[in-house]
Amino acid sequence: MIAAKVDLPLLTMEHSTKTSFNSRMAWLLQAAIVLTFMVMLAGSVVRATGSGMGCPDWPKCFGLLIPPTDVEQVTWHANSDYSQGQMIVRDEALWKANMDFTTAESWDKSQWTVYTRHDYAIFNPVHTWIEYINRLFGALLGLPMLIATGMAFTVMRSRPRLLGGMMLAMFFLGFEAWLGKLLVDGHLIPQQITLHMVGAFALLAVLVNVLRSVKPMGQHSDQSKLRVKVKRWAIAVIVLLAVQVVLGTQVREQIDVLLKTFGVHDSRLAWMGQLDITVLVHRSFSWMLLIASWYLHRAYKAWQPSSPLTLMLLIGFVLIAVLGAMMYYLSIPAVIQPAHLLLTAVTWMIGVDVLVRSWQSTN
């Protein structure tokens, strides 16, 4: 009895410490998830406005930490100071300063090197700042993830899966950053854009999974047959949605080609006729998602009657289908594209969360 009285405060303190740790981790992971949404939304705005090459280099922008706001900042001037790596646009090419120097009265080519990683040499301040804001969100996303990973290292012996999850999340974040650089260097290579989107959705799935390992989900009914049914339909929805995302990204790639060919201000009325059969498959695939999400909703409501998760998922898919139809029949209005992607990301998060709940409820 004496030993029990001595150990009880220690157990209480250990539980309190673990709860505090979990709360801090949950806050960081939730912040990372929100910032992931912001990065995806900003990236969609970048693509919808054709701003992907607004910053022609990476990680800086025209060789500067703070991007230029006026064409005069990327134009050669006599008797002006330039820092190493700073870029200017001259003779329809990008030129990079070889060192820190002050220009003379006339152009000295030896002070500059032509930037040859791509041939895009257009300065548009709006595009530049849209792309720069997108990169800022990406940098901000790294902060909570780095802190959370550091915290996971402190409990690596007692909770190795937590560290494994955070290391996997950091891998996907690094992959996204690396691929972002390749996209800029390669002037937005279409296949890499698809990989970039897939990586973002994979990162979101990992973050949701890790969050559910530190944040209590509340009591769940342990009706194994219903739980297994929910898990199966959740897997079906996630697989279908993953395929739908890839199809949608391929359609987006075709639109990017048209955007690059005709320009962001060109009339899009004739664009739909130039897209291949992928857009029809993508449109028809939404019906499969709606049907699967309906069956998931029925199974989940039987298992957890008070939870609104799958109803939110179903409503999300309906809204996505409506926005998709609007893009198809209204000649791809740019303003709808970011909302379409953001809703897709939210439904992906909910679908993964439902799967994780059904998977963990027996643990």
Identify the CATH number of the domain in which residue 104 sits. Answer: 2.10.10.20
Whether residue 38 sits in one domain with residue 110: no
Over 90: is that where the pLDDT of 261 sits? Answer: no
| Residue 195 shares a structural domain with residue 275 | yes
What rounded mean pLDDT belongs to the chain? 87
pLDDT tens digits, residue range 158-177? Answer: 999 999 999 999 999 999 99
| Shared-domain flag, residues 74 and 223 | no
Q: What pLDDT, on a 0 to 100 scale, did the predictor assign at position 273?
A: 67
The pLDDT of 234-239, averaged and rounded, is 96
pLDDT for the residue 269: 61
The answer to whether residue 231 sits within a structural domain is: yes
Could you tell me if residue 4 is inside a domain? no
Residues 127 and 217 in one domain: yes
pLDDT of residue 215: 81
C-alpha to C-alpha distance for 113 and 111, rounded to whole angstroms? 7
Domain boundary among 91, 122, 153: 122
Are 136 and 283 part of one and the same domain? yes
Query: Is 201 found in the same domain as 90?
Result: no
Same domain, 247 and 330: yes
C-alpha span between 38 and 34 (Å, rounded): 6
117 and 127 fall within a common domain: no
Q: Is the pLDDT of residue 72 over 90?
A: yes
- For the stretch 183-227, pLDDT in tens is 877 766 767 778 888 899 999 999 999 999 998 665 555 567 888
pLDDT tens column, 97-134 = 999 999 999 999 999 999 998 888 999 999 999 999 99
Claim to verify: residue 239 and residue 301 sit in the same structural domain: yes
Q: Check whether 304 has a pLDDT greater than 60.
A: yes
Q: What percentage of the chain carries pLDDT values higher than 90? A: 59
| C-alpha 148, offset from chain centre | 18
As a whole number, mean pLDDT of residues 50-58 equals 88
**Which residues span the domain enclosing 194?**
17-55+123-360
Residue 362's pLDDT band (boundaries 50, 70, 90)? low
Q: Is the pLDDT of residue 83 over 90?
A: yes
* Whether residues 141 and 249 fall in one domain: yes
In the predicted structure, residue 26 carries a pLDDT above the cut 70: yes
Lowest-pLDDT range, 2-6, 119-123, 310-314?
Answer: 2-6
Do 176 and 214 fall within a single domain?
yes
DSSP calls for 90-154: ETTEEEEESSSEE--SS--GGGEEE--S-------HHHHHHHHHHHHHHHHHHHHHHHHHHHHHH
Domain end (from 90, 122, 154): 122
Q: Is there a single domain that holds both residue 242 and residue 340?
A: yes
Average pLDDT over residues 312-318: 96
CA distances from 231 to 19, 22, 303 (A): 28, 26, 11
pLDDT at 318: 95
Rounded to two decimals, what is the model's pTM?
Answer: 0.85
Neighbours of 115 (CB within 10 A): 19
Closest C-alpha to 363, from 235, 238, 216: 216
Confidence label for 231 from pLDDT (cuts 50, 70 and 90): very high
Higher-pLDDT residue of 256 and 343 is 343
Q: Is 2 within the bounds of a domain?
A: no
